[in-house]
Amino acid sequence: SQQGEEDPQALSIQEGENATMNCSYKTSINNLQWYRQNSGRGLVHLILIRSNEREKHSGRLRVTLDTSKKSSSLLITASRAADTASYFCATDALRNSGYSTLTFGKGTMLLVSP
Amino acid sequence: DTGVSQDPRHKITKRGQNVTFRCDPISEHNRLYWYRQTLGQGPEFLTYFQNEAQLEKSRLLSDRFSAERPKGSFSTLEIQRTEQGDSAMYLCASSLGTGGPDTEAFFGQGTRLTVV
């Protein structure tokens, strides 16, 4: 089953605009990670935020985490056409087995038009 | 290139045939994961190794699926008697450590399986 749910499922913006994607999850986590995937390709790691962190920046990316609401957001500022891709949040959490693994949401498909 | 590599990148097979995929993780990484991804969906967890020990298997991993990591380095995923529903992208990832707040996973490019 998929723990994370991204919102919106699809987002279409113009170059230069900001893009915000949200992720909600269900259980306690060690960390939350955002990945990017170009069509038919592998996943590229973007940023990791620990459960005791509230905000993190990396270049044009800004991630927030609210563990009380079990939600995270990814903001891409000054978007470019090259940012067109699917974006996934993944939570690193303990499973029933006692081991932690990554669980992904269904993703947000971002289209940035020139 | 010292990233995660998967082989083959694409595989077309006839229904009923067996297929095997290989994953070479980043060399110092002790954790290795297999995921499956179908069109329009996020990756779904299949199984997890810490060194050579297979510590967890998803219920998605039916009896026709088997994974190994014999020396704690590369891993193989075999699907026996393939079905059309097995058509998907199979992704491998690796990470370092025993889990916890800083465990960052790195993914390979995936093996796209098409069962005809």
CA A78 to chain centre: 17
Tell whether B91 lies on the interface with A, counting CB pairs under 8 A.
yes
Q: Which residues in chain A have Cβ-Cβ distances shorter than 8 Å to B9? A: none
For A13, residues 6+ apart whose C-beta sits below 8 A from its C-beta are A19, A79, A110, A111, A112, A113
pLDDT given at position B35: 96
How far B47 CA lies from chain A's nearest CA (Å)? 9
Q: Which residue of A has its CA nearest to B58?
A: A1
- Tokens standing for B82? 């393939």
pLDDT band for A1, please (50, 70, 90 cuts). Answer: very low
pLDDT at B20 over 70: yes
Q: What is the pLDDT of residues B76-98, one digit of tens each?
A: 999 999 999 999 999 999 988 76
Burial B92-108 (b: 16+ CB within 10 A, else e): bbbbeeebebebebbbb
pLDDT given at position A101: 81
pLDDT given at position B101: 55
Q: Which residues in chain B have Cβ-Cβ distances shorter than 8 Å to A100? A: 99-100, 103
Say yes or no for a CB contact (<8 Å) between A99 and B48: yes
Q: What percent of chain A has pLDDT over 90?
A: 73
Q: What is the pLDDT of residues B23-81, one digit of tens each?
A: 999 998 999 999 999 988 999 999 999 899 998 888 888 899 999 999 889 999 999 99
Q: Which is more confident, B66 or A95?
A: B66
Mean of pLDDT values over A77-100: 89
pLDDT given at position A3: 59
Say yes or no for a CB contact (<8 Å) between A42 and B45: no
- Whether the ω angle into residue A114 lies within 30 degrees of 0, i.e. cis, is no
Report whether B22 contacts B5 (CB < 8 A): no
pLDDT given at position A95: 75
Q: What is the pLDDT of residues A4-16, one digit of tens each?
A: 678 899 999 999 9
- Tokens standing for B22? 């290989």
* Residue whose token pair is 């992720």: A23
pLDDT given at position B99: 57
Q: What is the pLDDT of residues A22-59, one digit of tens each?
A: 999 998 888 999 999 998 788 999 999 999 999 999 99
